[in-house]
Amino acid sequence: MTARRAVLILGLTTLVGAVLTGGSRAQEPRSPGLYNTAKQKLLDGKPVVGGTIYTSDPNIYCAMAGAGFDFLWIEMQHSPLTYSEVAKMIRACPEAPAIPFIRVPDATEGDIQKAADIGALGIIVPMVSTVKKAEAAVRYAKYPPDGQRSQGGGQYRVLYEGDYRRTANENILVVVMIENLEGVEVVDQIAAVPGVVAVFAASGDLGSFSGWARDDPRYEAMIDKVKTATLAAGKTLGGPFSWHDREGFRLFQASSDAGLIRSGARVLLETMKGEYEY
């Protein structure tokens, strides 16, 4: 057996193990009352990376959840995913090390309540261009006295140990996305909202709404403004994974499930070139 083939077999064995077991969240060190390991890493000054999920297939979800990501960015703004489907995905591998984050369609009470009830420990809110919207995101994600989330049923009861009602506010991480010029204009006020943990600079939409290319100095000035305001407020700065080497950024959205499958297949087939005809 060639060394290259042995490495390939080892890699496939690891992937199969991730699919079958989803990893084990219990292996991650925890602070008392804090089981959101992605948030813990941010508090420790470390970066976190999340793979993006568009499919409702629990097997793909569990494979990504056990692959090494800190969290999974479950995409409910730009996908037909339903809360029922996402609930089944999260329930399929509750001990997977990647923490479930959901990008909700909007900062509504219904969307955020449902996302939290099915087990999301990260609430990502798109198109935040006002302080009012950032405040609404926190209000609906948190139980009293920090917010107005109502106490009802939900599968969070079987996902998270201990007194969830007592620990939920500490564990739920609210991320607000700055995507347009209106949001950039007031980003210092948005970042200062209590309960907002991270501010995400949406690289593509900032270019789309402004009309500026990424090599335009005006575009770079927008990003610098978001960065300066976020860090000045003591909050975490987020962006696309391609910005992982940019100073100040610590929360990253990585490739989608389809993109990772495609690139993984290419890597696998590349290892076989010259050995087989296919």
| Confidence at residue 103, expressed as pLDDT on a 0 to 100 scale | 98
| Confidence at residue 142, expressed as pLDDT on a 0 to 100 scale | 98
Q: Are the C-beta atoms of 196 and 174 separated by less than 8 Å? A: yes
From 15-19, 21-25, 61-65, 261-265, the region with the lowest mean pLDDT:
15-19
Question: Average pLDDT in the 56-84 region?
Answer: 97
Torsion angle of the four alpha carbons 63, 68, 70, 74, in this order, in degrees rounded to the nearest 10:
-20
Judged by DSSP in three states, 113 sits in: helix
Q: Which is more confident, 1 or 25? A: 25
Structure confidence by residue, pLDDT tens digits, 108-154: 999 999 999 999 999 999 999 999 999 999 999 999 999 999 998 89
Catalytic residue (choose from 4, 5, 30, 78) = 78
Q: Are the C-beta atoms of 253 and 268 separated by less than 8 Å? A: no
Quick one: tokens of 17?
């193990």
CA distance 226 to 215: 17
| Confidence at residue 161, expressed as pLDDT on a 0 to 100 scale | 75
**Residues whose CB falls within 8 Å of the CB of residue 186, separated by 6 or more in sequence, listed in order:** 129, 130, 131
**C-alpha distances in angstroms, 63 versus 16, 22, 122?**
8, 6, 19
Q: Strand pairing of 249-256 and 48-53?
A: parallel
**Residues whose CB falls within 8 Å of the CB of residue 47, separated by 6 or more in sequence, listed in order:** 41, 244, 249, 250, 251, 252
Structure confidence by residue, pLDDT tens digits, 250-263: 999 999 999 999 99
Q: Which DSSP state fits 116?
A: H
pTM for the model = 0.86
From the list 186, 175, 133, 168, the residue with the least C-alpha distance to 42 is: 175
Q: Which DSSP state fits 22?
A: -
244 classed as catalytic? no
| Confidence at residue 273, expressed as pLDDT on a 0 to 100 scale | 78
Judged by DSSP in three states, 29 sits in: coil
Question: Average pLDDT in the 37-42 region?
Answer: 97
What share of the chain in percent tops pLDDT 90?
Answer: 81
